A and B are shown apart, each in its own frame.
Chain A
Amino acid sequence: MNSISLYTERDSIIHHIHPTNKVIYIFASILVPILLPSFAVLLGGALFGLILLLIGKVFKRALPMIGFVFLILLTVIIIQGLFHPTNSVLVFTIGPAAFYQEGLLYGLTITLRVMNIVGAFLILVLTTKPSDLVDSLVRRGLSPRFGYVLNSVFQILPQMMVSMKTIMDAQRSRGLETEGGLRVRIKAFLPLIGPVVLNALTHVKERAMALEVRGFHAEGKKTFLYEEKSYIATKPIQWGIWAVIGLAVIGRLMG
């Protein structure tokens, strides 16, 4: 089945860490660099993220995504190196372009901050099944209806793309040009919107009825087909991350 999930099945310790701990780790990767904006903390955080991806055996899978983000961030380093308002110490020149230490360091700081967050997100999405994440959140009090919406996005969206392709083929068979330059594509897009939206709306209504007769709005406590997966050292890991956040807060207050 087509899936929009990036989950990569591997047998690693990271795959056996509780999904909510990975969510808290994302929170920490955003918060700690804000609280302690030193270069060492940022570099340490980014390296730690890469090490976790390596342990999770998903580094290779993560590399194109990291590369793509890094490529965009490279422009930030270049622009800051050239034009940052505090630029004064010249590091090197390429032809007429002069790069300054202050700007380069500022650009690098932004890059590391983003890489920290990207790394944490990649750890979550590459090593956690979306359904496991939603399941664990629902067990911890997330509304089952909201959980359903999250879960169904991963399953229904690829199916909608398939139906869009069918509609596109149908329109193409009636002589609609759908390939070519940007103008042709934009022109082709408009006649597709109607059938795609109408089709989706009809499906939504039918699916709502089908869910209704399957007790979707039933009152009372929901039960689960599977027992909750057992994860490794859930509490120690969780307290460990909270401790790092706590130390960062203390460090900020004291420093």
Chain B
Amino acid sequence: MKQIIVDGLKYRYPGAETLALHDVSFEISKGELIGVIGRNLSGKSTLCQSFVGLVPHFYRGAYGGKVIIDGIEVKKSTIREMSRIVGMVFQNPFTQISGSKETVYEEVAFGLENIGVRRSEMIERVEQALEMMDMERYKDRSPFDLSGGQMQRLAIASMIAMKPQVIVLDEPTSQLDPQGAEDVFQAVERLSHEGWTVIVVEHKLEKIAQYADKVLLLDGGRRVDFEIPSKVFSRGDLEKHGVTAPVYTRVCRALDCRMKDSDVYPVTLDAACEVLKKCP
């Protein structure tokens, strides 16, 4: 059974003339790690916000189609209810800090206090989340004293403490240095291994190629492709959609070295090395 069903989703922001999302449909199974890619203004962030109900409940605007998560239709639900099922991490790590807590530990507990989780359970969940994000050593620090990568991991920890079924990350590494980005992706991979369904919007395509089970390619608010990374990144018209394939894929394409018994190119370093060794 599919956990997320997006069926003919259309959305236009208030006052906008064009649709931000145009008839987008796809389905996601529980535990999948989905990468969402596309040029700027292709509808990636809008799609993310439609999972947690910010679209249409926060922004309003014209909405059509359906987004169903765990059997609940987002349009008919509220952000409050959806935030129990879907956790969302935004682009800017700074604005995700609540700003009202003095320590990392208290910050992770903020959402749990809001939804009225019992104290004993709260402590258990906070400690679990900090451990999972490898943040225990920072638990007594002020959230504002963390680096960008640590702040983003704190935001993820704050989300997973709320035990959502689905985690959506909207360009979580866009403001981070390479090490910070790597830390965040390793954390995302851990979440995926723990069985969470993760949807991550990202421009660092090497990371998406390495970690995602499937890639959703959007352009102009429309779904262009929804397939395994090697199929999406092997598309001949990828650049036409404002996306440049990972460097390993481009090298293999230039040398016309494809994966064994397949017409796709490798998308990760390991796969590329393997293919290039055997390439005539």
Residues of A within 8 A of B (CB): 1, 131, 144, 147-148, 151-152, 155-156, 159, 203, 206-207, 209-225, 227
A217 vs B49: C-alpha distance when bound (angstroms)? 17
- The answer, yes or no, to whether B208 is at the interface (CB within 8 Å) is no
Inside 8 A of A152's CB, which chain B residues have their CB? 98-100
Complex CA gap A216/B100 in Å reads 12
Distance A131 CA – B103 CA, assembled complex (angstroms) = 11
- Distance, CA A1 to CA B101, complexed state (A): 12
Q: Is the CB of B94 within 8 A of A214?
A: no
B114 & A216 in contact (Cβ 8 Å cutoff): yes
Would A218 and B80 count as touching, CB distance under 8 A? yes
- B106 / chain A contacts, CB cutoff of 8 Å: 225
A216 to B158, CA, bound (A): 13
Interface size on B, residues (CB 8 A): 44
A212 — which chain B residues lie within 8 A by C-beta? 54, 58, 79-80, 83
Q: How many angstroms from the CA of A56 to the CA of B99 in the assembled complex?
A: 29
Q: Are the CB atoms of B95 and A1 closer together than 8 Å?
A: no
Please name all residues of chain A whose beta carbon is closer than 8 Å to the beta carbon of B90 when the two chains form the complex: 206, 209-210
Contact of B113 with A224 in the complex, beta carbons under 8 Å: yes
Residue of B nearest to A204 (CB): B95
Return A171 CB to nearest CB of chain B, in Å: 21
- Give the chain B neighbours of A215 by CB distance below 8 A: 80, 83-84, 111, 114-115, 162
Closest A residue to B88 by beta carbon equals A213
CA distance A213 to B83 in the complex (A): 5
Interface centre among A156, A214, A220, by most chain B C-beta atoms within 10 angstroms, is A214
Interface string of B214-236 (1 = CB under 8 A from A): 00000000000000000000000
Of all chain A residues, which has the CB nearest B111?
A: A214
A1 to B145, CA, bound (A): 6
Q: Mark B224-255, 1 if CB is under 8 A from A, else 0.
A: 00000000000000000000000000000000
Stretch at the interface among B35-43, B66-74, B117-125: B117-125
Bound CA span A151–B101, Å: 8
Task: Write the nearest CB–CB distance from B115 to chain A, whole angstroms.
Answer: 4
B window 115-163: CB within 8 A of A? 115-119, 122-123, 126, 142, 144-145, 155, 158-159, 162
Q: Which residues of chain B (87-108) have a CB below 8 Å from chain A? A: 87-88, 90, 92, 94-96, 98-102, 105-106
Contact between B109 and A225, CB atoms less than 8 A apart:
yes
Closest partner residue, chain A, to B105 (CB atom): A225
Shortest B104–chain A CB gap in Å is 12
Q: Which residue on chain B has the smallest CB distance to residue A159?
A: B144
Contacts of B110 in A (CB 8 A): 214
A131-B102, A159-B144 are known contacts. Are A213 and B87 too (CB-CB below 8 A)? yes
Chain A residues with CB below 8 A from B86, complex form: 213
